[in-house]
Chains A and B, each alone.
Chain A
Amino acid sequence: MFVVLIDQFWSLTIAGLALGFIYVLISLGYTMVYGVLRMINFANSEIFMWGTFGTVITNRDLYNYTQTSEPATGWKLALVLITALLMSMFIAGLTAVFVEFVAYRRLRMKGTNRLATLISAIGISIVLQEVMRLLTDSRPVGSPRVLEKIILAEVWGANLRLDTIITIIAAAVIFFILERFIKLSRMGKAIRAVSQNEDAAKLMGVNLNRVITTTFLVGGLATGAAAFFYTTVFEYTKFNIGFTMGLAAFTAAVLGGIGNIRGAFYGGISLGLLEVYASAVLGTQWKAVTVFVVLVLVLLFKPNGLFGEAVQQTRA
């Protein structure tokens, strides 16, 4: 049972970390919106899915890579990767703002019940998914290989692959930048003010609409970055991939303590690792069950998630 875990521990750990960092970025989309609106942003999974197409379009249509073409190298590689990253972030950010505008704004202004907003968000995610399904003819879409997946080194029997390393480092950097932005910038402070007390923030002259739109935008950008890493690592997307990833990221956000940026970080990493370890030990078919059982246990002992309480004041 544990043979695989012991034998392949470091391979699994690296894979789990890469997956975990993708979760971290997606769960930012959930957690930030939750912070200001106290709302599950149900459409975030579809924002992610739209983001993955940003990378596909860049690689396939902008730079004309195909499934059989040679991967890029040197400066060209950096250029393509950065364009793809920006494109995914742009599309996801735009989609997030669109979602806020169409599904949330009117309901928020009316100050009505949260469930209506939830259903509205579910509605918009069905719309986003179906539009993409019709655009792609229900077919999976491959993203051409731009980044050669070179094995850089072997550490304790595990391969350190270029794409995994880039994902882990770059995602950590992006996370760090976003976290600083929330902590230090004027807008970030406004976001935190709104999440602590909406009315007080309004009285202090915070432009609520702008803050909330920005929150969605930043969440969308993070989700878009995740979409880029996902597409670069797995080189694949389909109109219905959002659901699984979104659910996992949402679970990660709750695990870490939803509404809390650091919580998203730890939640995402723990979930990534938990998933690969559980799959290795119990079989992949029991992965989701294990994740949820762990989640319930965590919530029983720490009802606000792993980091919900400790960082309550600095909620974002």
Chain B
Amino acid sequence: MKIRSFFNLRDFGAGIWERSNRLQRVGIALISIFLVGLLPFAGASFLATPIASYDAVLVYPVGIFVLMALGLNIVVGKSGMLDLGYVAFFAIGAYTMALMGTLTSLNTWEIMPFGIAFAMLAGVLLGLPTLRLRGDYLAIVTLGFGEIVRLIALNSTWTKGPNGIANIPMPPDIGPLKFKLDDQKVFFWVVVVMILLTIWMIRRLSIRRPGRAWEAIRQDEDAAELMGVPTLKYKIWSFTLGAAIGGAAGVLYASKNLFIAPEMFTLNVSILILSCVVFGGIGNIWGVVVGATILGYLPDRIRFISDARLLVFGLVLVVVMNFRPDGLLPRKKREKAIVKREVSA
């Protein structure tokens, strides 16, 4: 029995892209970016979120979720390692921002490299000993790591323990663009730029050596190792890149939220981000973006059913996974396309 559900958006989109020439592609990309940039102005339409402020929702959860999901997708989607502790890197980024922002006079953009560097360092430190583990063993170790980072933040005095850190500075204005609390459009645009940079980076890497190595590792690690792929090295690379993006998201989040506390970095965040990745279409950038957007946005959109909100969220996960196990926008076609291009080149 074959159930072909809905209209195949993935093939449709990929088809248009394949048929376009370079100029058209640039055009499509620019128009899409422009439309996304206009999103914060659509607050009065049916997109409006009750209670929560629409433009704030676009930044967090939606924007930050997309960013983190893209980062986690490198680890889980591209190289096939199950990471349940992704929140650790987010937390490290956020705490870097919070501590350096309140203790030094550096601004958000100057702290960003530190946040990314610390997250990457944590990625390497965790990755070196543990990435030899396979599958679910890796999952529990990463999960533990995520909890350890949270517990250290909770139990230490230099992180202000459970009280958290308040008065984190906002980012400095970029020319005429001012960061404001009651209107978070600029934050949203910054997140969009970061997302675009991430997408660009992932696409570059995917079609080059690391991408192929990850693909090989994901499909059969032993075979990859036998064929001379230095698997550990590429696994650590993938882990560290994912960490870097998580760290960057954390820095931005702290700077947007102005206050962070350990309870913001629980295992639930890791699970939620993983859900975004799988829900949207694991391994496929656009799928991940769609998944994270929907899962970030949905709980705030359906606030009018307040009490049963999470229940609906859970049901959506079950139903969508059962009927579209590869996610909303799965990856298959895209990979084929890459292979085809390489052969013809």
Which residues in A have some Cβ–Cβ distance to B below 8 Å? 34, 38, 40, 102-103, 106-107, 110, 112-113, 115-120, 122-127, 129-131, 134, 247, 250-251, 254, 258, 285-286, 288-289, 291-293, 295-296, 299-300, 303-305
Q: B52 near A: Cβ within 8 Å?
A: no
Asked if A288 contacts B151 (CB within 8 A), the reply is yes
CA A123 to CA B319, docked complex, whole Å: 9
Residues in A whose Cβ lies below 8 Å from that of B316: 123
Asked if A293 contacts B148 (CB within 8 A), the reply is yes
Question: B307-326, CB under 8 A of A: which get 1 and which 0?
Answer: 11011011111100110011
Query: Other CB < 8 Å A-B pairs besides A116-B325, A126-B310, A250-B140, 7 of them?
Result: A107-B321, A123-B316, A285-B155, A292-B147, A295-B140, A296-B130, A300-B129
Q: B252 near A: Cβ within 8 Å?
A: no
Residues in B whose Cβ lies below 8 Å from that of A293: 148
Asked if B278 contacts A127 (CB within 8 A), the reply is no
Q: Which of A115, A129, A254, A285 has the most CB of B within 10 A?
A: A115
- Given B129, B145, B313, which contacts A126 in the complex, CB threshold below 8 Å? B313
Nearest opposing residue in chain B for A255, CB measure: B140
Asked if A126 contacts B311 (CB within 8 A), the reply is yes
Main secondary structure of the interface of A (DSSP, over half): helix
B contact residues, total (Cβ < 8 Å): 43
Residues in B whose Cβ lies below 8 Å from that of A129: 314
Asked if A286 contacts B317 (CB within 8 A), the reply is no
Which residues in B have some Cβ–Cβ distance to A below 8 Å? 76, 82, 129-130, 132-134, 136-137, 139-141, 143-145, 147-148, 151-152, 154-155, 267, 271, 274-275, 278-279, 282, 307-308, 310-311, 313-318, 321-322, 325-327
Main secondary structure of the interface of B (DSSP, over half): helix
Residues in A whose Cβ lies below 8 Å from that of B274: 115, 118-119
Asked if A107 contacts B308 (CB within 8 A), the reply is no
Residues in B whose Cβ lies below 8 Å from that of A110: 325
Asked if A120 contacts B314 (CB within 8 A), the reply is no
Residues in B whose Cβ lies below 8 Å from that of A103: 318, 322
Asked if B141 contacts A130 (CB within 8 A), the reply is no
Asked if A112 contacts B325 (CB within 8 A), the reply is yes
Give B329 Cβ to nearest chain A Cβ, in Å.
14
Nearest opposing residue in chain B for A119, CB measure: B278
Asked if A123 contacts B141 (CB within 8 A), the reply is no
- Listed by A's residue number, 27 A-B pairs whose Cβ atoms lie within 8 Å are A103-B318, A112-B325, A113-B325, A115-B278, A116-B321, A119-B275, A119-B317, A122-B271, A126-B314, A127-B311, A129-B314, A134-B307, A251-B144, A254-B136, A254-B137, A258-B137, A285-B154, A286-B151, A288-B147, A288-B151, A289-B151, A292-B145, A292-B147, A295-B141, A299-B130, A299-B133, A300-B130
